[in-house]
Structure 1
C-alpha cells in the first residue's frame, strides 16, 4: 500500500527557494549552504556521500570546502566510479590524498554495510551531493535511497544539497514493476522521473523507507522544471565516464535501452555515447525507417562510427546519431522505442540475456517485460507507448506533494 503522508509528518524540513528568474543563474544547494556559512551542516561529524560532481561555480569540491572550513568529516562515501571519479566501474576504499580523510567504497553496498560504514565513521549527519541525470537506471539515485535508509536506521540527520535535473521536470516512460528490481532500479518510479535528487529524497522518505529519516533539503535557487542544463549556468562535470555532456543526458533515458540489446551498440567507446547507435550490419535504411515515425523534437542523422571499446570495438558501425532540436517536445523513450521497433524487424537483432534466473537486461531497464514482449510481437510504437500512459499519469499524481519547484515552462 502506498503511503500518502504530509511532508511534515515524514520529518522533512523544506527550505523554499526564491522564484525562478531569467536574469539570475541557478544556484545549487551547495552554493546556498556555503553562503549560509554551512550552518545546516554544523551537527557533525559528517558523512559525505558525493562524487566528482559536487562542485561550486568555481569547480571547488564540497569536501575540500568543508575541510577548509574546519567542519568535522567522519568519512566520505563514494558511489559508482568513485568519490573523485578515479574508478572506471566500482568505487574504492582508502584515504583521500588531498584531505587525508577516510574514503569508503559505497558502490553496491547493502543496508547492513551502509550501517556499518556510518557507524565506523562516527557519522551524525549525512550530506548528499551528486549530480543525477534524470533516469531510473542511473545508479546514483539508488545510492541516495540506500544511504537514506541506513541513516534512518541509525537515526541520523540527512541533508541533500540539491542540484537541477539536467533534462527538465517532465516525467516519461513506464513504471518499474515488482519482480524487476535490480541495481538499475530498486523502487517503483518511472523511467524518466523528472525530479531533482532533493525531490526524490522527499518521495523516498514518505513512499519507500520503512521509517522516515530526519531529512532536510537545501534547494536550488532559480530552477524550475522547464529549465535544462544549458539554461542554468551550473557547471557540467561528467558524472560518469560515458556521460560527457548534457546532450548525452538528454537522450540517455531512451537510448540506454540499447544496453539491453547485444546486436546494436549504444555508442560506448565513441565521443558521443548514447547519441550514436548502430552495428556493423546496419546502414541508412535503419535511420530512414525510424525517421518515418516523425518523432517530435529530434533529428536523425545517418551515421558511421568505430567504437574503440565495448560492443563492436574497432569495427565500422552504421546507424543513427540523434540531435535533439526541441528539448521541450522531445520524448527520449518514445524515440528509443521507435528505434527498437524498426531494429527488431531487421536480421540479426538480439536481446541481451546473460544472467540465468533473472529477467533479460532490457526488462530491468524498462522495469517490466511488457515493452520487450510487445516489440517482439510486432506492436506499433503508439501502442507500446500507450501501454504505460495510465501508470505514468499515476506517478505524475503521486509525486506532486514532493515537488519543490514549479513545472511551468515559463
Structure 2
C-alpha cells in the first residue's frame, strides 16, 4: 500500500488515532490499518538521506566558508523510529526534522549565504515565477535567487566561498528545473574554484526511464541535456553524469563529493515528508507528475488553482458529453494565476485512482481527442520545450496510438540506459 499523504501527515494521523484509542475510541481505526501506516513510516525511515550522514560531511566543512543551495526540502531527520514511537505514546509533539541550514549554524559551520532555486528558499513561489534576492528572516543570512535575473551563481557571489552544498529534493523529471539549477551551480563552482558537496536524496520516480529524449535544438531551462523525460537517477547520480558526459561549459569537470544515501535502491517507494514544490502536495501528484506535467505545455489546466494539483486535468473546451467531472480553478497557494481562472473546466479526476509508477501519454491523447476545438489544445513552443521534441505534438495530432508513439523513442531509451549505468550509485 502506498499512501496519498505525506509522511508527516501520516504521523499526525497516527498520533491522533492512538490518542483517541486511549480514550476508548479505538474503533476510529482498525488495528491492521494502524499497523500498515506504522510500517510505511518505518519503511520510509529506513532510508538514510545524505543530509543525515553528518559524520561523513561535517569534517569537510570545518574551517571552510560555506554556501548552501537549498529550499524547504533541505532537512535533517532528527528522530529515530524508536523516539517517534515513544513520542506518539506520550502524545508529544512530532518535531522530526530540522532544516540543514539551521543545523549547520548550530554546529558552528560558517555559512556565508544561501542560494534558492525555483519556488524560493521556503518553497512558496509559483512555478516559473521570478524569485528575488533577500534576507532569511530566521537566520539573517543573505539569499541569492537562482530563478530570477541569474540562474547561475555569479563570480562575485562565490568569491568568498570555499565549498558549496547542494541539497534539494528532486522528482526525477527532466522539466522539473532543479537539475538545471544543479548544472549551473556545477559550472559556477568550476569557474570559481569552489568544491561542491551534494547531499543525495531519493528519486520517487527513480524506478523507470521513459519518454522522449531531448533534442539539442530544443534545450532550455526546462531541459538542458539529451536525456529522456523521466531519467531514473538521483541528484548525486545525475551530477556524476553531467561531469562524465562533458556537459559543462568547455567540457569542464566540477570537483564534487556525493554523500550517498544508505538503504536506498531505485525500486524503493519513498513518501516525501515535505512537498518538493507548492503544486506537488502528495504522493499521488508526484507519481502522476511525469505524465500530467506535459499539460504545462498546453492550454489545459492540470489542477493548478485547486487542492488537487497534478491529480486532475480540464479545460472549458473539452467535450462536456465525454467528461462528467468539472471544476473551477481559483488562485491559491502556489498558483496566483491558474489557467482558466474562474472558468468551469470539463475533465478527469485522478485523485482516487491507483497511480502506477510509470509514464503514460493516455491523458494528453485523451484530452486532445476529446477537445471541441483542437486548435486550442497545444501551446506549441511551450509544449516542445516540455517534450524536448516537436515530434510528440505531431504524433498526437496525427492520431498515433500511445504504443506507436512510444515505439519511436525505444532506441533512444536503450542508448540512454547504456550511458546511465556508468553513473549509478544505487542498485
Q: CA deviation at 1:164?
A: 0.2
Deviations 1:54-84 (A, max 9, x none): 0122221000001111101121001111112
2:60 to 28, 35, 40: 40
CA contact (8 A) 2:327 2:344 kept: yes
Q: 1:134 to 1:343 in 2, by over 3 A?
A: farther
Which residue does 2:354 correspond to in 1? 325
**Residue 149 (str. 1) matches residue 187 (str. 2):** yes
In structure 2, what is the Cα distance between the partners aligned to 1:90 and 1:400? 36
Unaligned runs of 5+ residues in structure 1 are 1-20, 288-301, 354-358
CA contact (8 A) 2:102 2:139 kept: yes
Alignment length, in residue pairs?
356
Q: CA deviation at 1:25?
A: 1.2
Q: CA deviation at 1:183?
A: 1.5
Which residue does 2:15 correspond to in 1? none
Which residue does 1:295 correspond to in 2? none
In structure 1, what is the Cα distance between the partners aligned to 2:101 and 2:305? 31
Deviations 1:358-410 (A, max 9, x none): x611111000101111112222222111111111111111110111111xxxx
In structure 1, what is the Cα distance between the partners aligned to 2:196 and 2:44? 32
SS in 2 for 1:249: helix
CA contact (8 A) 1:115 1:151 kept: no
Which residue does 2:344 correspond to in 1? 316
**Residue 50 (str. 1) matches residue 70 (str. 2):** yes
CA contact (8 A) 1:82 1:91 kept: yes
Deviations 1:184-221 (A, max 9, x none): 11111110111111111111111112211111100111
SS in 1 for 2:75: coil
SS in 2 for 1:398: helix
Q: 1:403 to 1:284 in 2, by over 3 A?
A: farther
Which residue does 1:103 correspond to in 2? 143
SS in 2 for 1:229: coil
Which residue does 2:266 correspond to in 1? 225
Deviations 1:111-157 (A, max 9, x none): 775333212xx111110000111110111111111000110111211
Deviations 1:273-324 (A, max 9, x none): 111001224357556xxxxxxxxxxxxxx53222113122222222112255
Q: 1:130 to 1:23 in 2, by over 3 A?
A: closer
Q: 1:335 to 1:194 in 2, by over 3 A?
A: farther
**Residue 395 (str. 1) matches residue 416 (str. 2):** yes
Which residue does 1:13 correspond to in 2? none
SS in 2 for 1:77: strand
1:199 to 207, 226, 237: 237
Q: What are the residue-to-residue correspondences of 1:9-408 with 2, within 5 Å?
A: 25-32=46-53, 34-36=54-56, 38-42=58-62, 44-57=64-77, 58-88=96-126, 89-108=129-148, 110=150, 113-119=153-159, 122-207=160-245, 208-209=247-248, 210-230=251-271, 235-262=272-299, 264-282=300-318, 286=322, 303-309=325-331, 310-322=338-350, 323=352, 325=354, 327=356, 330-343=357-370, 346-353=372-379, 360-406=381-427
CA contact (8 A) 1:337 1:381 kept: no
In structure 2, what is the Cα distance between the partners aligned to 1:37 and 1:379? 51
SS in 2 for 1:391: helix
Which residue does 2:13 correspond to in 1? none
Which residue does 2:24 correspond to in 1? none
In structure 2, what is the Cα distance between the partners aligned to 1:141 and 1:159? 15
CA contact (8 A) 1:158 1:214 kept: yes
Does 1 or 2 have the higher relative contact order (CA < 8 Å, sep 6+)? 1
Give TM-score, length-normalised by structure 2.
0.78
In structure 1, what is the Cα distance between the partners aligned to 2:186 and 2:317? 46
Q: CA deviation at 1:94?
A: 2.1
Q: 1:30 to 1:384 in 2, by over 3 A?
A: same
Q: CA deviation at 1:100?
A: 1.7
Deviations 1:309-358 (A, max 9, x none): 3122222222112255263xx432333443355346x43442444xxxxx
In structure 1, what is the Cα distance between the partners aligned to 2:375 and 2:342? 20
